[in-house]
Amino acid sequence: MSGFFKSKFFYVVAVLTLLAVIVPTVLCAMGQTSFLRSAVNTVLMPVQKLSDKAAEAIEGFTSYFTAFDKMKNENLRLKEEIASLREEVAGAREIREKYEWMSKYLELKMLHQDYKMVHAVISGRGSANYSNVFMLDAGRISGIAKGMPVVSEDGVLGYIAEVGPTWSKAVSILEASSSVGAFVERSGAIGVIEAEYDLSLEGILKMSYLDEDADIKVGDRILTSGYGSVYPRSLIIGYVETVSTDEFSRSVTATVRPASRLDQVSEVMVVTDYEIYAEEQ
């Protein structure tokens, strides 16, 4: 410790301290307070400027975070508004889709006033790509029974194969075991719509048992005949895509693209009662 008091650093500090005390005192005694004030201002000026700059920087820093908080809050508010608008749009879309479906259902009902129908939603489908089985959320309690036809607003979809209290299982007309009596709307030519495995994979039906001179053309609309099947008369089955004649048997066959596609339908009607068609004698 004694070495510190003998060091040069100690002498320098001591001299500066004495000067800091003595010089102002002497100047004040000589009436040179203005000189003293000027000297102090000169020394303190850089410090003052530095202080001002620091204050400005702190103020700017604070303003930045204040603005950031405002932007963050505004962003949250906008997100809430967007979410609310999306809900409104989704609700409006659902109402529109429901209205469109009901309009088509009413058209079907007006066209077939003798039908009694029960509304159902498709609640499940077969897991395999080629599966033509689908589940409905309505069953025996709603008046649905085995063998009843299932239709969409576009036409025939299938028929009920199994029924539970609150559910039912339906089979598409594309199922290989399915066959439907049918006729050509334009000409009245009669045949049978059948499902064949290979064609079913392509979503196509086959129309067989047509007379060799049957008037059938590509684009013709095919309807249910009401003969020997679960389907009432005049439901739309689909449209003719190709017509061919066997050169040996001279039999005519056609391929038909179904008007109603299972992969595009979510709501259906089960026809629970209808007038059985009887041809006039």
Kindly state whether residue 268 falls inside one of the protein's structural domains: yes
Residues 8 and 139 reside in one and the same domain: no
> pLDDT digit string (tens) for 201-255?
899 999 999 988 899 999 999 999 987 668 888 899 999 999 998 777 778 999 9
Within a domain: residue 94? no
Structural domain contains residue 96? no
127 and 261 in a single domain? The answer is yes
Q: Are residues 145 and 210 in the same domain?
A: yes
86 in any annotated domain: no
Cβ–Cβ under 8 Å, residues 148 and 115: no
Verify that 54 and 129 share a domain, yes or no: no
pLDDT of residue 74: 75
242 close to 120: Cβ distance less than 8 angstroms: no
Encoded tokens for 95? 């109402």
One domain for residues 54 and 122? no
Could you tell me where the DSSP H helices lie in the chain?
Answer: 2-5, 8-29, 33-111, 197-201
136 in any annotated domain: yes
**What's the predicted TM-score (pTM) here?**
0.62
Of 39, 59, 79, the last residue of a domain is 59
Residue 133 belongs to domain spanning? 116-273
Could you tell me the CATH number of the domain that includes residue 196? 2.40.10.340
pLDDT at 4 over 70: no
15 found inside a domain:
yes
- Same domain? For 125 and 44 the reply is no
Say whether both 246 and 155 belong to one domain.
yes
Q: Is residue 40 domain-shared with residue 120, that is, in the same domain?
A: no
Q: Same domain, yes or no, for 53 and 121?
A: no
pLDDT band of residue 262 (cuts 50, 70, 90) is: confident
Residue 208 domain flag: yes
45/130 same-domain check:
no
14 and 150: one domain? Answer: no
Q: Which of 183-187, 189-193, 250-254 has the lowest mean pLDDT?
A: 250-254
User: DSSP for 155-180?
Assistant: EEEEEEEEE-SS-EEEEETTSTT-EE
Question: 230 and 145, same structural domain?
Answer: yes
User: Please, are residues 233 and 224 in contact by the beta-carbon 8 Å criterion?
Assistant: yes
- Structural domains of the chain, count: 2
